[in-house]
Structure 1
Amino acid sequence: MLKVDAIDLYYGASRALSDVSLVAEAGKVTCILGRNGVGKTSLIRAIAGLTPVRKGTLTFDGKDITKLPSAERARSGIALVPQGREIFTQLTVEENLKTGFACLPREHRSIPLEIYELFPVLKDMLHRRGGDLSGGQQQQLAIGRALVTRPRVLLLDEPTEGIQPSIIKDIERIIALLRDRGTMAIVLVEQYFEFAKRLADNFIILNRGKTVLEGERVALEGQEVKAFLTV
């Protein structure tokens, strides 16, 4: 289980998160919702160890990881699919997938065949450069790269951004499949409300860097929720 407990996060003198908490459990999708600029990506980056927190703690399987470097968090089983995908455009699909080997012990440095079963397009385009892929294909590549690390926590930062509807459906199906296996906790940042509602087991909503609502999926039907998501 991943637990974020009352964290504050700053960029210089500007506070991006204030007293934010979150719990992510294996076999569940925890959604982070809110408008643009409310701190969703900051929270994901804090969990991944890319941005340090000033106050509060993060624990994973009971171990305090608050000060643990991002590389060590990756080795412990936390994988991030960043907003914007951040694939290597000049590397092939296969080479992009192999960048996930960095946090793995040598004996585990192989691409699981399952990744090609989940994303057949990656097998078909294995020797094409990442920059030649469409946005939806690049998103599948970014998720596949994260899965190469055999994560126990998968962090997804707006995986539907700029993606065509058919690929969104594929990504939704794969997230649900990974969740239902019960071995992986999934934390999903999302602005596409219907996509989040279909997948979420639990959610928090951020506004101005603070948690304003949280609960289980059923609570996402409330009008109060939509008030914090509409522009």
Structure 2
Amino acid sequence: MLTVDSIDLSYGAAKVLRSVTVAAETGQVTCVLGRNGVGKTSLLRAITGQQPIGAGRITLDGADISRLAPYDRSRRGIGYVPQGREIFPLLSVKENLETGFAGVGRGEKYIPDEIFDLFPVLGQMMHRRGGDLSGGQQQQLAIGRALVTRPKLLVLDEPTEGIQPSVIKDIGRAIDYLRRSGKMAILLVEQYFDFARELADRFVVMERGEVVMAGGAAELEGDDVRRRIAI
């Protein structure tokens, strides 16, 4: 379980997160919603260790990870799928997946078959360069790479951005399967409301670096949530 407790985060003199509190439980999907520029990606950067926090605390399974480097957080069980995917275009699909080996023990340096069950296209294109894949296929590759690390927490930053509808459905089915497996907590940043509503067990809505709403899935039906995230 991830607990983010009253964190602040600044870029120089600009404070972008103010006393943000979020929790993500194993076997559940927690969605972070909000318009562009409200601090959603900054929250993920704080969780993954790419940006230091100024106040508050971040724990994973009860252990304080607030000051750990990104690679140490990966080894503790955080798998990250960044916005824009950031796959290696000149490496093959197989080599991209194998970059996830850096955060696992010697006995786990193999690609789980589960990844190819979730995304069969990756098995079919193992020796193709990452840059030759479509945007949707690259997104599946980025998720697969994160799963190679056997995460306790899977963090996804807008996985539907710029993706064709058929692949969005495939990604949604994969997230639902991972949730039902009960092996990990899933933290999903999303602007596509219908996608979030179908998957979320819990949600938080952010505005101007603060959490302004939080609740269970049933509350996502309310017009107030839609109004706060409408572009």
| TM bucket, shorter chain | over 0.9
**What corresponds to 2:217 in structure 1?**
217
Distance in 1, Cα, partners of 2:56 & 2:209: 14
Give the stretch that moved more between structures: 101-110 or 29-38. 101-110
Matched, 1:62 2:62: yes
* Residue 72 (structure 1) shift: 0.7
* Residue 64 (structure 1) shift: 0.7
Matches within 5 A, 1:64-103: 64-103=64-103
* Residue 107 (structure 1) shift: 1.7
* Residue 11 (structure 1) shift: 0.6
**What corresponds to 2:109 in structure 1?**
109
Distance in 2, Cα, partners of 1:122 & 1:60: 30
**What corresponds to 1:128 in structure 2?**
128
* Residue 182 (structure 1) shift: 1.2
Distance in 2, Cα, partners of 1:121 & 1:70: 29
* Residue 86 (structure 1) shift: 0.1
CA RMSD of aligned residues (A): 0.6
* Residue 52 (structure 1) shift: 0.7
State the one-letter code of the partner of 2:85: R
Matched, 1:138 2:135: no
Q: Residue deviations 1:9-41, cap 9 Å, x none?
A: 001111110000001000000000000000000
Secondary structure of residue in 1 paired with 2:229: coil
* Residue 93 (structure 1) shift: 0.3
State the one-letter code of the partner of 1:190: E
Q: Residue deviations 1:123-155, cap 9 Å, x none?
A: 110000000000000000000000000001000
Matched, 1:37 2:48: no
**What corresponds to 1:153 in structure 2?**
153
Give the stretch that moved more between structures: 208-217 or 103-112. 103-112
Distance in 2, Cα, partners of 1:28 & 1:85: 23
* Residue 222 (structure 1) shift: 1.1
Secondary structure of residue in 1 paired with 2:57: strand
Normalised to the residue count of structure 1, the TM-score between the two structures is 0.99
* Residue 192 (structure 1) shift: 0.2
State the one-letter code of the partner of 2:110: S
State the one-letter code of the partner of 2:58: L
Distance in 2, Cα, partners of 1:217 & 1:117: 28
* Residue 5 (structure 1) shift: 0.1
Matched, 1:206 2:201: no
* Residue 113 (structure 1) shift: 1.3
Secondary structure of residue in 2 paired with 1:5: strand
Distance in 2, Cα, partners of 1:175 & 1:14: 34
Secondary structure of residue in 1 paired with 2:31: strand
Q: Which runs of 5+ in 1 are unaligned?
A: none
Superposition misfits of 4+ residues, deviation over 3 angstroms: none
State the one-letter code of the partner of 2:182: G
State the one-letter code of the partner of 1:194: D
Distance in 1, Cα, partners of 2:159 & 2:110: 24
Matched, 1:187 2:187: yes
* Residue 117 (structure 1) shift: 1.3
Aligned residues: 231
* Residue 181 (structure 1) shift: 1.2
Matched, 1:23 2:12: no
